[in-house]
Structure 1
Amino acid sequence: MAESQIIISTLIVSLVFVGIHLGSTKIYGFSEHYKKKILSFSGGIASAYVFLDLLPLIQRADPHLHAVLGNNPFIMVFLEKAIFGVAFIGFLVFFILEYLAVKSRYNNAHRTTKTLKETNASRNVFYVHLGLIALVSMIICYSLRFEILTTGLGVTIYTIALSLHFFISDRSMEEHYGKFYVKYGRYLLAFMPLIGWSLSVLFPEGESEAYILLAFVAGAVLFNVIKDELPRLGTGKPLFFFIGSLLYSGLILILPWIH
């Protein structure tokens, strides 16, 4: 694929992500009935994406991690687990952020005697949480060039999966931070895909760096799948979850035949 085609393709995908960040609050403004179906369908696709796309991808990354870390004997001992360690760091970072957000909401609710649903987390937690989600959004778009070069047509279904992930992640931010996110946060997040795309044009990532960055993203997405994107007991719509997961799984499995 020509360089100009790659730049245009990655820009289009980045603009899709910009639209998701800007419009997620409105998209989620459907009736309660449709919210459950949308969340369950998104959860199915995101789950299939993690297990059939991201995890197999980072499993192939050990040689590239070795290229970055070199032949340090201490590091070599842990090399086989190192790339999954990067993914686990991403998982832990977002686990801690979620814990801090929920704890802050509980503390504020107790202090103001309001219900948890009426209470937002503190601004300090919001700034940290928003900053790290913005970083992940930027990394994803910075790595788009690598995704297009390695998957080709697969970037279309990759875009679908990540768009739904962003939608669910943004919904969680609105739930935790309310007006802080709606008035300020979503605009910063909408700006990050363009920053990531610009950096990829100015400073194209190497293959080794792309694998490592995507391993961190895999951990972050995996946490969101476990925490938020699987339908909650009594509130999810299992049929739509299965439809989403089977649809995305089918696309992943037939993609090699298309190529």
Structure 2
Amino acid sequence: MEHHVSIWPVLVLALIHFFGTRLRFLAGVPRSVWLSVAGGVSVAYVFLHLFPELSEGQEHVEEAFVGEGFLRHHVYIMALIGLSVFYGLERKMVSAKEEQKEKKVDNKPPPGLFWVHMASFAIYNALIGYILFTREEGPLQQLVLFSIAMALHFVVNDFGLQEHHHDRYRKYGRWLLVLALVAGWGTGYLVTVSHTLVVLVLSFVGGGVILNVLKEELPEERKSRYWAFALGAFLYAILLLSL
């Protein structure tokens, strides 16, 4: 099947990593209302657009995994795995920073842990890049909605990663994430995977989005504004339900 190339979505998401950390007006405490709005938009997209799509895709997954009773809800298991993986990574980062603080050294995780963290997010970005490619085969509206949600999600991720790793993220991490995103997107032109695998990837990413947004909103020291998060979620939900 002929595939129509739309390079603008991957360029927009890549530019988020190039320039996201330079948006100084988003930094500081209390947490920027714009970051909270962005988080709300991302979560609304997952619950109101991605999960219903996964529910439909569950039929394809069940056909590929016939008979495993406890795996009947494969897509939601993958979403749980995605959430759990990134929760584990976040806990490891926080623990490492606390240990460094107790040793009275710089408030950054060790270099080895930095690369593990970046590798995990690189895989995450590559999966999102591949999903972006698959979206090009569908309606333009679907591509635009996904691109907006992921662009705002990347802004939230950038500030979280910079807070953990500081100059390491600016010098190395963001470049790795850009390369991973483009590589995942480009892989779509070289490798065709089954719809079942695409659905499982979508569910993993959905779980990751939920955790990566909430972990930035919940810590008390962030002084996040719930109303901004709720407003972003509400407005994007209205948009999604009206289309």
TM-score, normalisation: structure 1: 0.85
Q: Say which SS state the counterpart of residue 121 (structure 1) adopts.
A: coil
Q: Which stretch of structure 1 is more off in the superposition, 101-110 or 227-236?
A: 227-236
Of 124, 141, 159, 1:136 maps to: 124
Shift of 1:30: 4.5
Quick check: 1:54–1:218 contact (8 Å CA) kept in 2? Answer: yes
User: Which residue of the partner structure matches residue 158 of structure 2?
Assistant: 170
User: Which residue of the partner structure matches residue 2 of structure 2?
Assistant: 3
Q: Deviations over 1:137-162 (max 9, x none)?
A: 11111122332334531221211111
Of 206, 211, 221, 2:199 maps to: 211
Q: 1:31–1:126: structure 2 CA closer, same or farther, 3 Å change rule?
A: closer
Of 87, 91, 98, 1:99 maps to: 91
Quick check: 2:17–2:155 contact (8 Å CA) kept in 1? Answer: yes
Quick check: 1:58–1:215 contact (8 Å CA) kept in 2? Answer: yes
Quick check: 2:83–2:211 contact (8 Å CA) kept in 1? Answer: yes
Quick check: 2:29–2:222 contact (8 Å CA) kept in 1? Answer: no
Please list every run of 5 or more consecutive structure 1 residues that lacks an aligned counterpart in the other structure.
none
User: Which residue of the partner structure matches residue 189 of structure 2?
Assistant: 201
Q: Say which SS state the counterpart of residue 137 (structure 2) adopts.
A: helix
User: Which residue of the partner structure matches residue 153 of structure 1?
Assistant: 141
Q: Say which SS state the counterpart of residue 149 (structure 1) adopts.
A: coil
Shift of 1:34: 9.2
- Describe how 1:52-71 pairs up with structure 2 within 5 A: 52-69=48-65, 71=66
CA RMSD of aligned residues (A): 2.3
User: Which residue of the partner structure matches residue 210 of structure 2?
Assistant: 222
Instruction: Give the aligned residue type for 1:106.
Output: E
- What is the rounded CA distance, in whole Å, between the counterparts of 1:232 and 1:52 in structure 2? 28
- What is the rounded CA distance, in whole Å, between the counterparts of 1:204 and 1:28 in structure 2? 40
- What is the rounded CA distance, in whole Å, between the counterparts of 2:238 and 2:220 in structure 1? 24
Q: Deviations over 1:97-149 (max 9, x none)?
A: 0011000000001001x6xxx60111121111111111111111112233233
Quick check: 2:37–2:232 contact (8 Å CA) kept in 1? Answer: yes
Shift of 1:33: 7.7
Quick check: 2:62–2:72 contact (8 Å CA) kept in 1? Answer: no
Quick check: 1:134–1:188 contact (8 Å CA) kept in 2? Answer: yes
* Percent identical: 30
In the alignment of these two chains, the number of paired residues is: 243
Q: 1:93–1:234: structure 2 CA closer, same or farther, 3 Å change rule?
A: closer
Of 13, 16, 20, 1:17 maps to: 13
Quick check: 2:31–2:222 contact (8 Å CA) kept in 1? Answer: no
Shift of 1:28: 4.1
Of 155, 160, 174, 1:186 maps to: 174
Of 80, 105, 108, 2:100 maps to: 108
Q: Say which SS state the counterpart of residue 60 (structure 1) adopts.
A: helix
Of 39, 42, 57, 2:38 maps to: 42
TM-score, normalisation: structure 2: 0.90
User: Which residue of the partner structure matches residue 85 of structure 1?
Assistant: 77
Q: Which stretch of structure 1 is more off in the superposition, 224-233 or 184-193?
A: 224-233
